[in-house]
Amino acid sequence: MGKYNFETADFNSELWEQLRGAYGNIQEDIAPLMVDNPEVPEDEKTLNPYMSYKSDYMIAFDNVCNQLWHQMSFYDASYIAMPYLAKAFNYWYEKNDFIMQVLFLINAGIIVSTDNKYNDIYNNIKDTIPENIMESYNQSILFFKEKAEELLTNKLDMLKQFKPDTVSYICISLLAFVGKREHSFILLLENFSQCPVICGNCDFFLEDIDLDNDIEDQEISEELNSLITPAPSVIGEWDRKSLDNTYIWLSNVLHIAGSCHDVKKLSYFYGTFTCPGCGTKSSPVIDVCMKALMEG
Ligand SMILES: [Zn+2]
């Protein structure tokens, strides 16, 4: 697939039994995605998370997603699923079907976001995955990364068809490919709102910061601002090309989409935390959240 070299595991492979999803073997869920010239009814091509699918293809797609990112855990089946998802995505990419591409990119992003150091604590088979399987898994992620970058730069205007909240959800999922997986994981897991903090120096730990509510509430926001200094605004500072600095591109894409509230929340996640106990400063806050999650 372009410059990326990945192969899909044989359907007869014993790996399907070994590498399982949340509900077991995923082979029967993957197979319907591999039929020749699949068709999906137009009304099922939607980013509405409450859509109840009727077509075999979308039921299978939904099952694969539930198998691979249930409760934001990492599942071994992702190692064999990802090349298949890349192949299925490519069909819609070549058909120029934008909604289907976005659906695949969002879900592939969420799956990849779960492959991080927090979930690694529970992943003890990583070292036993056959080399070619691991290589194909990694190559398919690079393939998705290229397509995610293309969407965020060349196809940015097409995101305008979605509501601001939906654009935020798309962006934080794609962040798994174009930024740090851990950052994508935290924003997804904490609903782009909860922001637990922990001090690396003393034993201060605070779990109940909820930005959606707290930044709008005058009284609480004063208290919040004594803990977290938001990062300065970078609106207008993006060249619409570079994705190297997450805070810069993400702020600007959210701004373009009209999510002022989410731009503000993001400034807290990329701000500086000052411990009220000992005064130690740490930034960005999103890394502090990851630490709080692992140690809190
Ligand atoms: Zn402290």
How do residues 165-218 score in pLDDT, each as one tens digit?
Answer: 999 999 999 999 999 999 999 999 999 999 999 999 998 999 999 999 999 988
Separation of CA 220 and ligand 1 centre (Å): 21
Q: Are residues 63 and 144 in the same domain?
A: yes
Separation of CA 212 and ligand 1 centre (Å): 25
Domain containing residue 104:
15-180
Q: How far apart are CA 147 and CA 152, in angstroms?
A: 9
Whether residue 66 contacts residue 81, with contact meaning beta carbons closer than 8 Å, is answered with no
Q: Are residues 41 and 153 in the same domain?
A: yes
Q: Are residues 53 and 102 in the same domain?
A: yes
Separation of CA 207 and ligand 1 centre (Å): 15
> Looking at the DSSP assignment, which residues form a beta bridge with residue 274?
281
Q: Are residues 161 and 201 in the same domain?
A: no
Q: Are residues 94 and 62 in the same domain?
A: yes
Separation of CA 282 and ligand 1 centre (Å): 10
Q: Is residue 189 part of a domain?
A: no
Separation of CA 198 and ligand 1 centre (Å): 8
Q: Is residue 6 part of a domain?
A: no
Secondary structure letter of residue 50 according to DSSP: T
Q: Are residues 53 and 148 in the same domain?
A: yes
pLDDT at 1 over 80: no
Separation of CA 261 and ligand 1 centre (Å): 29
* pTM listed for this prediction: 0.96
Separation of CA 289 and ligand 1 centre (Å): 14
- How, if at all, do strands 228-229 and 281-282 pair? unpaired
Which residue among 154, 180, 206 closes a domain? 180
Q: Are residues 30 and 85 in the same domain?
A: yes
Q: How far apart are CA 253 and CA 234, in angstroms?
A: 11
- Residue 127 Cα to chain centre, angstroms: 24
Q: Are residues 218 and 169 in the same domain?
A: no
For the chain, what is the domain count? Answer: 2
* Mean pLDDT to the nearest integer, 270-291: 97
Separation of CA 87 and ligand 1 centre (Å): 48
pLDDT at 36 over 80: yes
Separation of CA 268 and ligand 1 centre (Å): 19
